[in-house]
Chain A
Amino acid sequence: MAQELKVGVRHSAAVTVLDLHGDVTMFAESELTRAYHQAIDDGARALVLNFAGTDYINSAGIAIIISLLTEARTGAVTLVICGLSTHYQKIFRMVGLTQYAEVYDTEDLAVQELKNRGIGESAPV
């Protein structure tokens, strides 16, 4: 019934993009953590969490995202969010998640903003 989350890791310019496909619920933790650490181990310091392939996020999933954002902040990694529907952008604001990460409508906007700020230039290409 639940659509298991799969996370793809790819590079766009000097930024690493994590593409989320499936449900972001309590079952998403190991896959999200795996993908994040894969990117970090590969040298990424600027990441975009792309939710364009996700249409169901619940509070347990949001708590996992917040944990990831907290870990990124501790490790001086810039992590931003894109691809959320208007509804989930509202939910993320509601629970204060936007205190932890900037949210952009599209991947292009997120990547461009990181490039403009010179973030992620040492990331793998």
Chain B
Amino acid sequence: MSSGKQVIHLHIPSELGFEKVAMGAARSVAQKMGFSNDRILDLQTAIAEACTNAIEHGNRLNSAQRVEVVMTVEENALAVDVHDRGRDAQFTEPQIYDHHNHRGMGMYIIKQLVDEVQWSAQPQGGQVRMVIYLEPDAGDSTSPRPQGESGL
């Protein structure tokens, strides 16, 4: 992959199941960048949760609205932004995962799987930004990633 920042835009329908398109695209990009298969699986799962949340809760399954997925390829990192058009997005921090009623599980999973994550409410809708970093010397690991607090 050539040096310098490259940006890939995807627009998927607000219909459950189309998150797989974003997962597939992310796999292609991350593979090309040299991420290990374990890291790619982590990223795909995080993207699936973010897109599902955007489809269901952001765009409220309104097929007239799209979820935008922006992948930014940097020298040592892949950033993925997922945007919805939910005007009433209010959260800026993920809910605390409650093991008893399972609310917030998707956000909890995202936090565990990527290196950095940030949720924000933009004027045009909700956004989540996820970043994973290339670790050239790191092999595949089945351990959860360290909790990724946003430094963005």
Contacts and interface: CB of A to CB of B under 8 A. Distances in A.
Interface residues on B, range: 20 to 34
Interface residues of A, number: 22
Contact of B45 (A2, A23, A87, A89): A87
Nearest to A57: B45
A16 interface: no
A56 B24 CA distance: 12
Contacts of A59: 49, 52, 102, 105-106, 109
Interface stretch (A44-52, A71-79, A91-99): A91-99
A62 interface: yes
Given A2-B16, A59-B49, A96-B99, A87 B38 contact: yes
* Chain A interface, >50% SS class: helix
Contacts of A23: 17
Interface string A83-125: 0001101110011100100000000000000000000000000
A55 to B, nearest CB: 10
A58 interface: yes
Given A1-B15, A1-B18, A2-B16, A60 B52 contact: yes
23 contacts: A2-B17, A2-B20, A26-B16, A58-B106, A59-B49, A59-B52, A59-B105, A59-B106, A60-B52, A62-B102, A63-B102, A66-B102, A86-B38, A87-B41, A87-B42, A87-B45, A89-B142, A90-B143, A94-B108, A95-B99, A95-B102, A95-B105, A99-B99
Contacts, number: 58
A2 B48 CA distance: 12
* Chain B interface, >50% SS class: helix
Contacts of B65: none
B146 interface: no
B139 interface: no
A90 B144 contact: yes
Interface string A1-40: 1100000000000000000000101110000000000000
Nearest to B20: A1
Given A86-B142, A91-B109, A94-B144, A58 B49 contact: yes
Nearest to A63: B102
Given A59-B106, A89-B142, A95-B99, 12 more contacts: A1-B20, A2-B17, A56-B20, A58-B48, A58-B49, A58-B52, A63-B105, A87-B45, A90-B142, A91-B45, A94-B108, A94-B112
B146 to A, nearest CB: 13
